[in-house]
Amino acid sequence: MQDEAVVLAQDLTKHYRVALKEESLLGTLRHFLFRQYRLVRAVEGVSFAIRRGEVVGFLGPNGAGKTTTLKMLTGLIHPTRGKALVGGHVPWRREKAFLKKITLVMGNKQQLIWDLPAMDTFRLNAAIYEIPEAEFRRRVGELAEMLGLVGKLHQPVRKLSLGERMKAELLAALLHRPEVLFLDEPTLGLDVNAQVAVRDFVRAYNARYGATVLLTSHYMADIAALADRVLVIHQGRLLYDGELTGLTARFAPYREVRLVLARPLPQEALAPFGEVREVEGREARLLIPRDGLTERVALMLKRLPVEDLEVKEPPLEEVIARVFQSPKEVGG
Per-residue confidence band for 328, with pLDDT thresholds at 50, 70 and 90:
low
Over residues 142-157, the mean pLDDT reads: 94
- Residues in CB range of 236: below 8 A, 6 or more apart: 41, 42, 43, 44, 46, 64, 65
The answer to whether the CB of 186 falls within 8 A of the CB of 212 is no
Can you spell out the DSSP letters for 129-171? TT--HHHHHHHHHHHHHHHT-TTTTTSBGGGS-HHHHHHHHHH
pLDDT digits (tens, 9 = 90+) for 97-120: 999 999 999 987 889 999 999 999
Mean pLDDT of 237-244: 92
| H-helix segments, the chain | 25-33, 66-73, 96-99, 118-128, 133-147, 162-174, 192-209, 220-226, 244-251, 267-270, 293-303, 316-325, 327-331
Domain final residue pick, 248, 263, 281: 248
Domain final residue, candidates 205, 222, 248: 248
Q: Is the pLDDT of residue 147 over 90?
A: yes
pLDDT of residue 331: 47
Residue 53 has pLDDT above 60, yes or no: yes
Q: What is the CATH number of the domain that holds 258?
A: 3.30.70.980
User: Average pLDDT, stretch 179-184?
Assistant: 96
Same domain, 166 and 80: yes
pLDDT grade, residue 2 (50/70/90)? very low
Classify residue 237: in a domain, yes or no.
Answer: yes
Say how many domains are in the chain.
2
**Which domain covers residue 300, as residue numbers?**
253-312
Q: Are residues 179 and 301 both part of a single domain? A: no
Query: With 80 as the cut, is the pLDDT of residue 260 above it?
Result: yes
Higher pLDDT, 25 or 307: 307
Domain assignment present for 321: no
Average pLDDT over residues 227-256: 88
State yes or no: pLDDT of 1 exceeds 50: no
Identify the pLDDT of residue 320: 78
pLDDT at 154 over 60: yes
Query: Do 93 and 40 belong to one domain?
Result: yes
| Summary mean pLDDT of the chain | 90
Q: 320 vs 303, which has greater pLDDT?
A: 303
Residue 327: the pLDDT is: 58
328 inside domain: no
Q: Compute how many other C-beta atoms are within 10 angstroms of the C-beta atom of residue 265.
A: 15
The more confidently predicted of residues 177 and 220 is 177
Shared domain check, 263 and 121: no
Mean pLDDT over residues 198-220, rounded? Answer: 93
**Are residues 23 and 124 both part of a single domain?**
yes
- Across the range 175-180, mean pLDDT stands at 96
Confirm if 178 and 170 have CB atoms less than 8 A apart: no
Which domain CATH number covers 16?
Answer: 3.40.50.300
Same domain, 28 and 100: yes
- For residue 332, the model assigns a pLDDT of 43
| Distance of alpha carbon 330 from alpha carbon 326, whole angstroms | 7
pTM, 2 dp: 0.81
Pick the range with the lowest mean pLDDT from 106-115, 171-180, 241-250, 260-269.
241-250
Contact 39, 196 (CB under 8 A): no
- pLDDT, average across residues 267-293: 92
